[in-house]
Amino acid sequence: MSSKLDLSKEFIGRRALVTGGSRGIGAAIAQRLLDAGAKVVVAARSRSDVTPAAATFISGDVRTSEGVKAIAAEALAALGGLDILVNNAGGSRGFLGGSPTIPDEEWQDTLALNLLAAVRLTNAVLPALRASKAAAVVNISSTAATIPYGPFAHYCAAKAALDTYSRTLAVELASSGVRVNVVTPGPVATPSADELRKTFTDGMGIPADAFVQQVPLGRLGTTDDVVEVVALLASDRGRWLTGGNYRVDGGMTAR
């Protein structure tokens, strides 16, 4: 591989679908792919003021099988195929009373958003990925998958399941040239994540910098920290990488 690779052009000719791409990490991923020449579709329930203007936006709900089918069909029609799938949509509500207070419907909704959305969408676009000569799936997980935390037990379980699913899929699809990897961010500074952290530090009466104190490198991550790892895995630079889980967490899970 040439050491003179121009990263600003590495996705020219590539077609990408990013879920949860209207804000936060998802929007940053979509913009990174666009900046390097990709044709990008962003799927989310609604736009925001940071949704990449150059991306094709699809409004949809990945929590239902019908919503996933509609997103897949519209995205493939807009792109004419698919090379890169980033399953970024995720999240959940927290319950300060711990896991026994999480209602059944919250478990179902969280599993649908953080696990089944990725499973269903990957299956829906799999024929297009198989037809690509440079197919890559990147699933966005969370350090919650390995750090038990009662108020988010449903989210922790869903992300742990996503990790296992991704490893299994990587082995299954390797023979067809479709690579599957996971990126696991630690606490990242985005408006919605910052608000959620404040809600919990206030509600539990703990210091405002409690989350930062868990990070050996001593700061919250940025969307750029995460985006560059996704770009590596989606590009030809990662052509021999599959089945991996890349933790972008400032050393948080190294302890």
Q: What is the spatial distance between Cα 27 and Cα 55, in angstroms, rounded to a whole number?
A: 10
Burial of residue 93 (number of CB atoms within 10 Å: 0-12, 13-18, 19+): middle
- 204, 96 Cβ separation under 8 angstroms: yes
Query: Which residue among 149, 155, 165, 246 is the active-site one?
Result: 155
Closest CA to 143 of 134, 132, 133, 155: 155
Closest CA to 253 of 146, 106, 116, 105: 146
Burial of residue 219 (number of CB atoms within 10 Å: 0-12, 13-18, 19+): exposed
Q: Is 155 a catalytic residue?
A: yes
DSSP 3-state percent helix, strand, coil across the chain (nearest 5): 50, 15, 35
- 36, 9 Cβ separation under 8 angstroms: yes
The residues assigned a catalytic role are 155
